[in-house]
Copies of this chain bind each other. A is one copy, B any other.
């Protein structure tokens, strides 16, 4: 169990690519739809993720914003694949790039499939007010925009976003 404190940003250029230390393909799905979370029928998202030959279950409180309660457990790969295929309603596919910058590690998620074209940088912090040095390639912050949540990308993928949504208007 932990408190996840995370901020999300768009990318203002491709310059981050030269700083990538490692990359990993991930497929993830959710046992609860975004609609159930939004309506209050669930107070958390329940995520299944496969990354390489490893897999995890993740439970995250559905509060919108920087700070969320988070639980994560390793599960057998075969279980995760069955959960994704049988009990999830769609998946999100991405490559996660790990990018070190001035003592912090950014996770840059490059999405595929129906979310092709979307790239989001995430930064985990130890406290809400922790400061960090912004790299030149870091763009506008989107932490408070629900549509960037991976959970929401399953049913409202980037391919279906309006021009206003892509430009960051709400």
A residues sitting closer than 8 Å to B (CB atoms) are: 1, 31-33, 35-36, 39, 41-44, 46, 57, 59, 61, 69, 71, 73, 75-76, 78-79, 82-83, 86-89
Contacts and interface: CB of A to CB of B under 8 A. Distances in A.
Given A33-B42, A43-B87, 11 more contacts: A1-B78, A1-B82, A31-B46, A32-B32, A32-B36, A33-B36, A36-B39, A39-B41, A41-B41, A61-B86, A71-B82
Contacts of A44: 31, 87
Q: How many copies does the complex hold?
A: 2
Given A69-B82, A75-B71, A83-B71, A43 B31 contact: yes
A77 to B, nearest CB: 11
B76 A59 contact: no
Contacts of A87: 43-44, 59, 61, 69
A106 B120 CA distance: 52
